[in-house]
A and B are shown apart, each in its own frame.
Chain A
Amino acid sequence: MSEDPGRHDEIDQALRRHTERWRASLPPVPDLATARIRRTRARRRQVAAAAAAVLLVAGGISLATGVLTGGAHRSLPPTTPTHSANASTPAADVPWKALPATNPTLPVTTVPASPDPAAAAGVRACTADDLQLTRSRADGAAGGTMYLPVRLVLTGTDPCRLQGYPIVRPLGHGKVLALTVADETDGPPPTGKAVATVVRSGEPAIFRIAWARSHSCPVMDNDRLEITLPGIARSFTIAGFGTSFCNPGEPGPAVMTVEPVQPLDYARAYKTSPYAGVTATGDLDLTATTGRPVAFTITLTSDQDLPLVPCPDYDIETSAGSRAYGLNCDAVPYRDAEHRPYLPAGVPVRFAMQADPGPESWPKFEWQLIERDPVRATVIGTLAVHPAPQ
């Protein structure tokens, strides 16, 4: 374990000791897996030789990087639904059809960062009178790099905007200390790159100053920090890091780094898929007979109108292995204004399914719509397989 600048921090040390004890408390790693794999593979060879199944290409879904911004799960133009079937009365099951997997490329949606930096565009720039700086306790009291959080609190009620890196001058008894102070540029926004930040009443902004105080030679007493915020001429002063110390022979002084101003609570943008809002249910605790397909039903419900374009694949896993199929979208009874099959929001749609149960019972009989994150439409059950009567 290395590369972490906080490695001498007391919390870091506590975590290391604790996790060493935790790892020691785990049971021994079992060596059952490889034996089980060999047994499973031998039986699959027997099944493959005896079965007359259709060979299907195992599908893996790739998510396209083409993006439309907007709310979660919304990547396609809004659908104007005209239900071919009345969504208030249950439609018949979508019949089973052994369609090959097509490995479609699904569109993705980017959920914007929160708060969205674009929302700061029309907000006025902050002035010195708008803000009060409060210094939190510096982390790393046991040594190593210390991190000093500085909060920017709105003094009035009218929100204002900041963007950029504060200028920090470390002082010792009124004199500027001979330290290099650099912008922290390591990492994505908001810690390594400035984002437009709105300061509101009850929603402060923050930035952190880091300094390896225990590895900074020669010894210096940093009693104050003078801070000039981006776009504001007047400076503020807060208490500094205190006295530095170092081990003999260490080079110094250590560089002090400054993060950009950022929201206190920031969630990065992430990608999602319209299928992330689909849930799958079904009773998959089944009994089957060797050599005969097992029938079951999967119900899909989408949290929003979801055109089934492109038509997704799904995967079924039994003791015969994991196989992918194309969903029978053409037989879905609901059509939108563009005559595309779709899942109406909140309406359960039942799909008849069949699967080759394989030669043996399977404790994890699994149906899943798509394998890749963020789609989680999965149903898991058990499959008891009995020999065919003689």
Chain B
Amino acid sequence: MVRTDDSFDTWVRPHLPAMQRYAARLIGPLDAEEVVQEALMRAWRRWSTYDSRRGEPVVWLLAIVRDRARRQPRSRPAPLLDHDRPVDLAAADLDLERAVARLTPRQREAVDLYYYVDLDVAGVAELMGCAPGTVRATLHQARLVLRELLEEAR
């Protein structure tokens, strides 16, 4: 594929929602757009280094999002929810969100990527640098913890 600005647009566009979701989980929805912009800039500069034999485009892009999010100076704590956008969330949603925030970092990462970003197990494994079986085990452990936390909250 000849790599031009237009082809980059076409190539990256289907993955923008996943990038936005991941950025929102890492740094909060209010700062997510800036992180996605930074990630796109870096991806565009380094597009020539992307090798499709080494993984899916979305995984490569999400790794860049993660890197950019880590460097983002946070002017305020990442909110559990975006309170500037009223959303009709049931109490159960708030309980679940609080419970997810209490998972270990690895469990939280697996849950974020699998449920919130909507990656498949293979994509989660590639991004987390582990085997698919480990992802399944981590998700299972996370659900066990969430069950206990939600029962405590009742």
Q: Which residues of A are in contact with B by a Cβ distance under 8 Å? A: 1-6, 9, 11-12, 14-16, 18-19, 21-23, 25-27, 29-30, 32-34, 36-38, 40-41, 139, 147, 149, 186-188, 191-192, 321-322, 364, 366, 368, 371, 373, 376, 378, 380
Contacts and interface: CB of A to CB of B under 8 A. Distances in A.
Contacts of A5: 136, 140
A26 B147 contact: no
A380 B143 contact: no
Contacts of A147: 140, 144
Contacts of B89: 21, 25
A380 B115 CA distance: 32
A246 B86 CA distance: 42
A29 B17 contact: yes
B90 to A, nearest CB: 9
Contact of A191 (B5, B111, B132, B137): B137
Nearest to A376: B70
A282 to B, nearest CB: 13
Interface of B: 5, 8-9, 12, 16-17, 20-21, 24, 29, 32-33, 36-38, 40-42, 44-45, 67, 70-71, 73, 82, 85, 87, 89, 92-93, 96-97, 111, 114-116, 118, 120-122, 130-134, 136-137, 139-140, 143-144, 146-147, 150
B136 A4 contact: yes
A188 B45 contact: no
Contacts of B147: 11, 139
B71 A380 contact: yes
A187 B136 CA distance: 9
Contacts of B97: 18
14 contacts: A2-B120, A4-B114, A11-B150, A14-B92, A18-B93, A18-B115, A27-B85, A34-B40, A37-B41, A186-B133, A187-B133, A187-B134, A191-B134, A366-B71
A29 B24 CA distance: 12
Given A2-B121, A23-B118, A187-B133, 16 more contacts: A5-B140, A12-B143, A16-B115, A19-B115, A25-B85, A25-B87, A29-B17, A29-B20, A40-B41, A139-B144, A149-B144, A186-B133, A186-B137, A322-B42, A366-B71, A368-B71
A191 B131 CA distance: 12
Nearest to A19: B115
A379 B121 CA distance: 35
B140 A26 contact: no
A36 B9 CA distance: 11
A186 B8 CA distance: 38
Nearest to A16: B115
A353 to B, nearest CB: 18
Nearest to A191: B137
A371 B133 CA distance: 29
B95 to A, nearest CB: 10
Contacts of A2: 120-121
A376 B29 CA distance: 23
Contact of A187 (B12, B24, B32, B137): B137
B29 A188 contact: no
B126 to A, nearest CB: 13
Nearest to B42: A322
A40 B118 CA distance: 32
Contacts of A23: 21, 116, 118
A367 to B, nearest CB: 11
Nearest to A368: B71
Nearest to A145: B140
B100 to A, nearest CB: 8
Contacts of A321: 45
A4 B42 CA distance: 33
A21 B89 CA distance: 8
B24 A26 contact: yes
